[in-house]
A = this chain, B = another copy of it.
Amino acid sequence: MQAIPKAEFEKRVEAFQRNIREAGLDAVLVHSNEADFANVRYLSEYWPTFESAGVFVPAKGAPVLIIGPESEAYAQGRSVIPRIAMMVEYRESADPEYPGIPVAHYADVVRMAMGHRVLKKLGLAGFSIMPLPVYLSLQRELPGVELVKADDTLTSLRTIKSANEIKLMKMAYQISEKAIDAILGEMAPGMTELQVIGIAQREIYKHGGEYEGHALYCFCGPGTKHAISRPTHNKIKRNEIIQLNIGARVGGYSSSVGVPCSIGKLAARKRRLVEFGLDAHLKTMELLRGGTPAAEVVREYEEFVEHRGFKGHMLYGPCHGIGMMEVERPWIESTSTYALQENMTFQVDTFFQDKDFGLRWENGVRITKTGVERLSQKYMKMVEL
C-alpha cells in the first residue's frame, strides 16, 4: 500500500536508459546517502542507512546496486534490483576496515553490468553529494574512462510525478496535517520547541509515516527569522509568533506543511505581515499552471509583493520542487529557463521576515493544465490559539 509497485521501478530504469543513450553515455553511476537518499531509491527502493549506495546503470542491460559491506541482508530484502555488489567506497564514514569481508571494485561492477561492452564515457548522477572515495576510485580503477556530470539524465525523470507518486505524496501531506492538529491541541507556554517536535514525531509514525520528510521546524519569537535553523530548548511564549514546518515521509515521498501561529494575540505589526504572507502564498498558487515559464512566476510574484509594499521583507521563495526529497529540483527562480508541466509538484514556500521575526507558509501543489491541485490546505489560515 505504501510503496511504488515493482513494475514502475522497471519502467524508470528503461526511461533512464533511454536518457543515458540520448546523452551519448555508455553508463551512469548514481549516488545517494542516508539523508540524500532519493536517486538510488528512485531506481531500486533501497534506502542506504549508515552507509551510502550507488546504482550502476548501463545504456543497455541490467543495472547493479552498489552497497557498503554491512548491508547485504538488508539490500537483498529491499532492493528491486537483484544484482548487488558490496564496495568499501560505500562504507560508513567512520572508515571501518571489515577484515574478512570480500568487496568488489569498479571494474567488477562494470563487468557485471556490461559484460564485454566497452565503457568510454561514464555519467555521474548525484554529483553534488558524490564523495571523494568514489570519485578517486573511479579515476584509479577505470583509467581512460571519461567522467561527466549527468544529473539531468535522472532528475528529468523525477520531476514529472506518476499517479503512484502523487498518491504517496498526498498520504504524506495528510499525515503532516494530523501532526499539526496534535501540536495545536497540545502546545502550551513553557513547552520547549524540541518538545513540540516530539509531538510531531509521535504523530508521523503513529499514522503511517516512515520518517520525517525534512528537519522539522518549531521556532518561537526571534528564532522564526531564520530560513534554515534547528529547534532549541527555548520555551514557547504567549503572544509570540510560533513557526511550525512539519513534514512526514511515506514510501519515500516527502511533504511539509508550514503554518505561523501564536498562543494568544499577536501584535498588529506582526499579524499584518503574517496575513500578507498568506495573500502572497495564495497569489503564487494562482500564478502556477502548465505551460507557464517558471521565471515568469517569480517576476509576477515579486511584482505583487512590491506593489503591496513588502519587498523589503522578502528573502526567499516562491517555490521549489518537492517529491522524494522535501527540496528537490527544479526550483522556481528568476533565472529558471523551463516551463511548468502537468504533474510537476512544487512546495509553495512563502517566507517573509522583519527585524525581529519571520514567517513561512508552506503547502504542496501538483501542476495541472489549468492551474494547481493542492496537496494540503487545511492550515492555510492564521491560527491564534
Contact = CB atoms under 8 A, between A and B. Distances in A.
User: Could you tell me the dominant secondary structure of chain A's interface residues?
Assistant: loop
Nearest to A151: B95
Interface in A290-340: 316, 320-321, 325, 327-329, 331, 333-335
Contacts of A335: 97, 99
B201 A198 contact: yes
A229 B74 contact: yes
Find the residue from A51, A71, A205 having the highest chain B CB count within 10 A. Answer: A205
A144 interface: no
Contact of A225 (B73, B127, B227, B325): B73
A73 B208 CA distance: 35
A33 B34 contact: no
B202 A199 contact: yes
Nearest to A197: B205
Given A227-B74, A328-B94, A128 B133 contact: yes
A159 to B, nearest CB: 11
Interface string A3-37: 00000000000000000000000000000011110
A206 interface: yes
B131 A128 contact: yes
A186 to B, nearest CB: 11
A248 to B, nearest CB: 11
Given A50-B228, A201-B198, A229-B49, A331 B97 contact: yes
B47 A230 contact: yes
A247 to B, nearest CB: 12
A215 B34 contact: yes
A164 interface: no
Contact of A70 (B93, B205, B228): B228
Contact of A230 (B132, B210, B233): B210
A367 to B, nearest CB: 17
A103 to B, nearest CB: 14
A233 B202 contact: no
Contacts of A195: 205-206
Contact of A50 (B100, B199, B209, B214): B214
B215 A194 contact: no
19 contacts: A2-B233, A47-B230, A50-B327, A73-B227, A77-B226, A93-B325, A94-B321, A95-B329, A97-B333, A97-B335, A124-B132, A131-B131, A135-B135, A194-B205, A195-B205, A195-B206, A198-B204, A199-B202, A210-B230
Interface string A217-257: 00000010111111101000000000000000000000000
Nearest to A67: B228
A98 B333 CA distance: 8
A296 to B, nearest CB: 15
Contact of A320 (B77, B94, B227): B94
Nearest to A68: B228
Given A99-B333, A199-B202, A230-B49, A128 B73 contact: no
A92 interface: yes
Contact of A131 (B73, B129, B194, B227): B129
Interface string A67-91: 0001101100110000000000001
